[in-house]
Amino acid sequence: MSISFNEKTRVFRLDTVTTTYAFCIHEAGFPLHLYYGKHLPDDDLKHLLGRGMFTSFSPDVPGFSHTGFSLDVQPQEFPGFGTGDFRASAVEIQNADGNCATDFRYVSHNILKGKPDLCGLPHFRDENGESETLVLCLEDRATGAEAQLLYTVYNDLPIMTRSVSVTNRTEKPLRIQRLASLCLELPTMDYDMIHLYGKWGKERTETRRALTHGTQSIESRRGSSSHNHNPFVALAAKDSAEEHGEVYGAALVYSGNFKIECEVDAFNTARLLMGINPDGFSWLLGPNETFTAPEAVFTFTDGGLGEMSRIFHRAIRKHLLSGPWKDRERPVLINSWEAAYFDFDDDKLAAFAKEAKSLGIEMLVMDDGWFGHRDSDDSSLGDWYVNEKKLKGGLGSLIERIHAEGLKFGIWYEPEMISPDSDLYRAHPDWCLHVPGRENSPARQQYVLDMTREDVRDNIFAQMCDVLSKNEIDYVKWDFNRNLTEVGSAALPPERQQEVFHRFVLGTYDLMDRFVKTFPNILFENCSGGGGRFDLGMLYYSPQIWCSDNTDAIERLTIQFGTSLCYPLSTMGAHVAARPRTPLSTRAAVAMMGTFGYELDPRRLTDAEKDEVRAEIRAYHETHRLVSEGDLYRLISPTQDPFRAAWQVVSPDKTETLVTTVVMRMPETMYFPLRLAGLDPEKRYTDLATGETYSGALLMYAGINLTGRLYLDGQSAVLDFKAE
């Protein structure tokens, strides 16, 4: 890992363990991209810059007429708007005279050991000095705006992070209209764009399509990263597959409106941009004020989509997640939602706990319905005090009863929301997001609190803190159950109303940061109607996110496979639910592709099912470390095979592997040889269930014959191999 600058050629090189990223400073001052890909030993890369002639409609850069240099075709690190590059720009700033022409050029740079924090924003960490950062200083001389581009490389993984900040060095305000966190130029369009689309209950389905001339984009305007599109994208060579081929992967560390776009120009080159969605966004920047955009993380590999995923998984586990639950085994929990919904009291929850303890479950989570006068989803959000008609002895009494059974206790909150039928709304109707003169659009019978306001955040923090500090609570599920409409704030002047979307996200981050610092030992799980806010920004504050409200095992395969393109298994909240179309064993096998828990009434299980649950929990404890720390191999994708799905986790030292296969629907043939991956071909592996021993070479190149074992709808098998 190293960052270097060649004074003679004015070329920057950023080298990771397997990749090289290079750009140069043109004599006009523009940072121009040269290369990103597999590691190069060469020092002089400037000859890669040439892109041939441009058209007569491509303007010259002032002072460089007749030199063959036009921004219209140049691969730029930070392309501006309105000064000669007609492609999508990374930055657009309206200056004091009202125009938006933007032109940033190199001033200086600095190379730092380590990685600066991004104040108020989640970001990849460097707690052990394992990184270097290039700070590239640019200036728009006409407007007085300054920009700092931060590039960080790590010494243990082929990842890089990018972030950008803009400072106003003038005495007049500037208005940022667009500021992308990442601009990546590619010399060819010969890639497929892979992203994750979906909806509530069907999140993060992988889709793949070829780049074509023009612009392809995914985005969210919903106020959150959303169920519909995820802030992750991969550009994969057309011949690439799961375990071979060139792949670029990128993700945004952000939980609000985003846009990812890839534009292919007439010269067949591609420009990838990623950042805050410019729709509905602008930021008024006063004199000497600085605005910082969210961070982007990206990687390159020639080892296919599987290796791209494993790189992201290792990086997220090591450099993004934090706190005591980062590496700790998570307790097996049972959540009350699908067992009782709003219909519970302290006696029912205590009965759940008693039965759950007998099965080996370690935590009871009381979901929605414990506060205010909430018996349905039409009231009480914002009133975070205990409903003692339900919990007759109060929350402390209930927790004592749960602890007496030997279980930990968790609780549900939806801190960013408010019900029109609540004491808080009646006292402070202006505390919700709203636009003067317009009625608020209700969704799920609730509005959204104005998280841009410190007084609102202080109120919610004080209410929740009162409950969390006075009771022994081990887990908090943090939910977010609607999108943002009528996005206005009574606390901001008219000229700042287009800042509300972003300020809302910053306010949420501030509130989460206060909670994780005040209650460092609580396990926080994020949620947004399931997976509506499954992003790197949320993972900075909570080590796991409820993957989807859809708990059907077969449907979960597509959701969890898609999620795994970027996110580690240890971050995916996954439970066994009372969904009878698949056997209990299959539901457990799929849930073990995540954090593992239960979402059912344990009193309704038969004696045989209870014995099965006990065995599943023992298996979870035996394999937890492998699943949470191992390398994932997606052997058969449910989006590519209509019959079966299969995945494998391999320990870092390749001494153990867990292989899971699920039959989604009856296949056309019983013959089923399954090739494994990621093993040491020289080692011999024993199937712990049968005692049979195989070489790693045989398991990978010939496969294990599962003919006849996996044929009927809903069948599954989990194979555990250990090296001799």
- List, by residue number, the catalytic residues: 479, 549
Rounded Cα gap, residues 263 and 286, in angstroms: 32
Place of tokens 């120009």: 265
Answer whether 225's CB lies under 8 Å from 503's CB.
no
Answer whether 54's CB lies under 8 Å from 73's CB.
yes
The DSSP 8-state label assigned to residue 577 in this structure reads E
Structure tokens at 147: 């920009």
Identity of the amino acid at 545: I
Answer whether 473's CB lies under 8 Å from 399's CB.
yes
Structure tokens at 472: 């022994």
Tell which residue, 321, 327, 330, has the closest CA to residue 621: 330
What is the DSSP pairing of strand 247-253 with strand 232-237?
Answer: antiparallel
Starting at the edge strand found earlier in the chain, the sheet holding 408-413 runs 572-573, 544-546, 523-526, 475-478, 408-413, 363-366, 333-335, 597-599, 576-577
The DSSP 8-state label assigned to residue 445 in this structure reads T
Rounded Cα gap, residues 49 and 30, in angstroms: 12
As to burial, measured by CB atoms within 10 angstroms (0-12 exposed, 13-18 middle, 19+ buried), residue 223 is buried
The DSSP line for 289-309 is -EEEPPEEEEEEESBHHHHHH
Tell which residue, 89, 96, 86, 103, has the closest CA to residue 138: 103
Exposed e or buried b for every residue in 227-253, given b needs 16+ CB within 10 A?
Answer: bbbbbbbbbbbeebebeebbbbbbbbb
The angle, 0 to 180 degrees and rounded to 10, between the axes of the packed helices 346-359 and 607-629 is: 70
What is the DSSP pairing of strand 295-301 with strand 290-292?
Answer: unpaired
Measured CA angle at 334 (ends 361, 605), to 5 deg: 80
Answer whether 248's CB lies under 8 Å from 184's CB.
yes
- Give the distance from CA 58 to its chain's centroid: 39
Q: CA-CA distances (angstroms) from residue 451 to 504, 508, 567? A: 5, 6, 27
Answer whether 696's CB lies under 8 Å from 704's CB.
no
Tell which residue, 452, 537, 523, 513, has the closest CA to residue 224: 537
Q: Across the strands, what pairs with 347?
A: none
Rounded Cα gap, residues 236 and 239, in angstroms: 8
Rounded Cα gap, residues 505 and 501, in angstroms: 7
Tell which residue, 600, 594, 611, 597, has the closest CA to residue 660: 594
As to burial, measured by CB atoms within 10 angstroms (0-12 exposed, 13-18 middle, 19+ buried), residue 667 is middle
Q: Which residues contact 20 (CB under 8 A, 6 or more apart)?
A: 13, 14, 35, 36, 37, 38, 39, 40
Compute how many other C-beta atoms are within 10 angstroms of the C-beta atom of residue 29. 15
Rounded Cα gap, residues 502 and 262, in angstroms: 23
Rounded Cα gap, residues 294 and 678, in angstroms: 34
